[in-house]
Structure 1
Amino acid sequence: MWKLGLLGDAPDLLVVSIDSNCTTFAQTRSEIEGATGAEFRDLLVAACPNPHIERWFMADPNSFHAVVGHRPALGPEKCERGYYKNELKKAVRSGGHPQTLGGIEFARALATEMDLYRAGRTDNSLKAFVDDLRTKLRGMRRREHG
């Protein structure tokens, strides 16, 4: 457990991320909440990519194309271990890039370019994360101005 006295002030937000690995967003979020101290519950934003984070990278095919040069076709969710890692690698290779970090080297550019609304329509777990983050950020703004 964190000792806030040693770290200074409490954080404004605490974002915790773990792949859902084919369990539901709600179940994974519940596990995160159970492992989080009560003093952080109101600050918690859970990011639970279902089934894996690599699916989030490709959730907005238009922005993926703009960044990587290839438009991936996600289709229905798959729970096979390593499936989305391989799909991301293939999409990066199809965009004409050498294999370096398996696609995660594009993470920042993809996050910057991504249309979160469009990506959320493709992936429910991403939508749940974005909605929760927006709610918490609005609450912070109200507390600052209220």
Structure 2
Amino acid sequence: MSIDSNCQAFAQTRSEIESATRSEFRDLLVAACPNPHIERWFMADPDSFHTVVGHRPALGPEKCERGYYKNELKQAVRGGGHPQTLGGIEFALPLTIEMDLYRAGKTDSSLKAFVDDLRTRLRRLRGREPRA
């Protein structure tokens, strides 16, 4: 499940997701809580962003200003010479395929928390017997 943190702490947003999840599924839950917004995740690995879009974004420190990262993503896509279509979200799939998650996690702590949680859940599932 995913929801933008909107500058709330990861733990607080994750807790909100957990409380909205049925108890029997909580041990399978992987919460994606981009802080403050998902658009920052797409630019968290500037090298892969450059490979896909043709422009290297400069993220700097996190900002909580509403719409800030939507605008940054649009500007970065424009910087790569692409026409405005969906504001940059059209690059979501190729960016996530190309992204170095370790490098991106060093840039964005909420992305690192998601990747770490996903790895933990997958390892746990791998060690389980198939359900009958």
Does TM, normalized by the shorter one, top 0.5?
yes
Bigger Cα Rg: 1
Does the alignment pair 1:102 with 2:87? yes
Return 86-95 or 136-145, whichever deviates more.
136-145
- Corresponding residue of 1:53: 38
Provide TM-score, normalisation by structure 2: 0.97
CA RMSD in angstroms, aligned pairs only: 0.9
Does the alignment pair 1:38 with 2:23? yes
Q: Alignment length, in residue pairs?
A: 130
What's the CA shift string for 1:46-100, capped at 9, x where partnerless? 0000000000000000000000000000000000000000000000000000000
Distance in 2 of aligned mates of 1:123 and 1:83: 16
- Corresponding residue of 1:118: 103
In the TM superposition, residue 144 of structure 1 has moved relative to its aligned partner by 4.2
Does the alignment pair 1:68 with 2:53? yes
| Counterpart secondary structure, 2:27 | helix
| Counterpart secondary structure, 2:59 | coil
Amino acid at match of 1:140: L
Distance in 2 of aligned mates of 1:50 and 1:57: 12
In the TM superposition, residue 125 of structure 1 has moved relative to its aligned partner by 0.2
In terms of fraction of residues, the more strand-rich structure is 1
- Give identity over the alignment, percent: 84
- Corresponding residue of 1:3: none
| Counterpart secondary structure, 2:128 | helix
| Counterpart secondary structure, 1:132 | helix
- Corresponding residue of 1:139: 124
Find 1:26's aligned residue among 11, 22, 40: 11
Within a 5 Å distance, the mapping from 1:83-102 to structure 2 comes to: 83-102=68-87
In the TM superposition, residue 31 of structure 1 has moved relative to its aligned partner by 0.4
Greater than 4 Å deviation, 4+ residue runs: none
Runs (5+) with no aligned partner, structure 1:
1-15
Provide TM-score, normalisation by structure 1: 0.88
| Counterpart secondary structure, 2:49 | helix
Distance in 2 of aligned mates of 1:141 and 1:68: 35
